[in-house]
Structure 1
Amino acid sequence: MRKEPARRAPGTLEAEVLGVLGNAAEPLTPAEVQAKLADDLAYTTVVTILTRLHDKGAATREKHGRSYRYHAVDDEAGLAARKMAKVLDGEPDRDSVLARFVTQLSDSDEALLRSLLRGKK
């Protein structure tokens, strides 16, 4: 009996691809991204992930022959922040959402957030 590989957490592949793009000195083709990934992903999967990152504004692309070369706009932290902002933008009562978010932070995360809001780290 063959065991199915474990499913990844949502966004894991995007974060891995974004990490590859972020560590590159120049824009990469999908084949170059595929070669730098630890997993044996299909080329079409890599193209799909790159297209999604481009559609989300997390990567730019430039025409390269019949394909594209991709470059990261954000790092993993930037992508997470972008997702959080998108969720917040979709909520009609931003005040309540932000208040609830802050009350659910750990003491250390709340202190860090307060420090960041004061312009310190």
Structure 2
Amino acid sequence: MRCLGELEAAVMQVLWEEPEPVKVRDVLERLDTGRSLAYTTVLTVLDNLHRKGWVQREMESRAYRYRPTRSREEAAARMLGQVLDASGAPEVVLGHFAASLSAEHARILRTALRERDG
């Protein structure tokens, strides 16, 4: 799973906010990018997201309905993992990350690590 471009991220935000799969037209109507977009532009973005594994699609009549393959939180966790993998020095990155955490976020991280370790 690769990181998202600006428009891809905006499309994913729309999909994560919708409880049911949506058509291209629905995504286009809900997008708030500050610029006018063509239907075909949103269709292309959704096709790219499908190819990258970010969304699933199902045919309904003659149009696809799209939905995310993972939650916003799962996607964020995977992207963090990719950043660590790409850094070449995950221990350094994690050290900087840990130092930057608020007390509350550090508590949440400690709890998650304890739960993981059983």
- Larger proportion of helix: 2
Q: Per the shorter chain, which TM-score range?
A: 0.5 to 0.7
Q: Which residue of 1 aligns with 2:78?
A: 82
User: Where in structure 2 are the equivalents of 1:25-104 lying within 5 Å?
Assistant: 25-38=19-32, 40-63=36-59, 68-104=64-100
Q: Which runs of 5+ in 1 are unaligned?
A: 1-9
Look up the equivalent residue of 1:118 and give its one-letter code.
R
TM-score, normalised with respect to structure 1? 0.66
Matched residue of 2:12: which SS? helix
Aligned residue pairs total 111
| Counterpart Cα distance in 1 of 2:86 and 2:14 | 30
TM-score, normalised with respect to structure 2? 0.67
- Deviations 1:35-63 (CA, angstroms, capped at 9, x unpaired): 34356532133123323432442211245
| Counterpart Cα distance in 1 of 2:51 and 2:78 | 13
Q: CA RMSD in A?
A: 3.0
Higher RCO (CA < 8 A, seq sep 6+):
2
